[in-house]
Amino acid sequence: MKTARLHAQWVKEEAKRIGFHACGISRAEFLEEDAPRLEQWLKSGMQGQMAYMERNFDMRLDPRKLVPGARSVVSLLFNYHNPDSVGGDDTPRIAQYAYGEDYHFVLRDKLRELLDCLRARIGQIEGRIFVDSAPVLEKSWAARSGLGWVGKNTNLITREQGSYFFLCELISDLELAPDGSMADYCGTCTRCIDACPTQAITPYKVDGSRCISYLTIELRDQMPQWAQGQWKDWVFGCDICQEVCPWNRFSRRHHEERLMPHPDLPLLDRDAWVEMTHEVFGTLFRRSAVKRAGYDRLMSTVRLVALGDAGDDNAE
């Protein structure tokens, strides 16, 4: 056990050196409490068109099915808060996490560095890194390891800096001393629930099919009639439930150069967004998560938000 504690302490020190805000550790075991919640969420159809959420149910609940022989789940937080808003004042907006380079690339590089350092110090270990690209219930693992609590808006919230964090994991067969979970500090607050324009949030549950992030990124059909006009400026993702969260008054600006927006992005006004060409889109979002939506999908949302142009074939 002494060795497990020493290794855990060293992992956390290395994670901090690499640039992660926080690091917590859990035992790699079945997430018994999450199983019925996930099953009910799926049965209610709250995944919308996100069919991938229905696959690999067992893997989402047991990391040992992802990494045979896994003993520890290392959860890490990486700050992406940038208070300099891109958009606003009737200008289309994108979620903060998408301002700069796609976080998958940024965090994978840092996780690989952490895993390489771990192997160099301890020896050969079996492990995999995960950045929102595999069936991992990352918020559950982060909460289990004491990094924060899952709030009423289902974001992981920390007392120190709120919720503007990327979550990622290193799952390995190395035994590490686990951390304990922490209390829920949402209290009686309902600001995120009250502020959501599409009523997607109920306490500790989000109907993904109504979430603005889903509607502007995941949905491949035309925007449903009921959703049109429900929000005024979000064209890729949404930060409303984070902007109103009292804990985010403690959020601090990140210092990762790769997450900074293209210098021309904050300069776009409403007309520039509406008139954006393929070439400009490619320049501004060359390595951004915004590319996931694609030019046509993004511009359809931009026109709907900026001009109220819903087209003639919207889904009912």
Name the phi and psi angles at 166, rounded to 5.
-80, 145
> Among 62, 89, 116, 132, which one carries the catalytic annotation?
132
Q: Is 132 a catalytic residue?
A: yes
Bridge partners of 168, per DSSP, are 76
**DSSP β-ladder status, 201-202 and 205-206:** antiparallel
* Cα 316 from Cα 227, distance rounded (Å): 10
Q: What is the DSSP letter of 69?
A: T
Q: Which residues of 234-258 are buried (b: 16+ CB within 10 A; e: fewer)?
A: bbbbbbbbbebbebbeebeebebee
Give, for 107, the enclosing helix (H) or strand (E): helix 103-122
What is the chain's Cα-based Rg?
20
Widest Cα–Cα separation across the chain: 67
Q: Which residues are catalytic?
A: 132
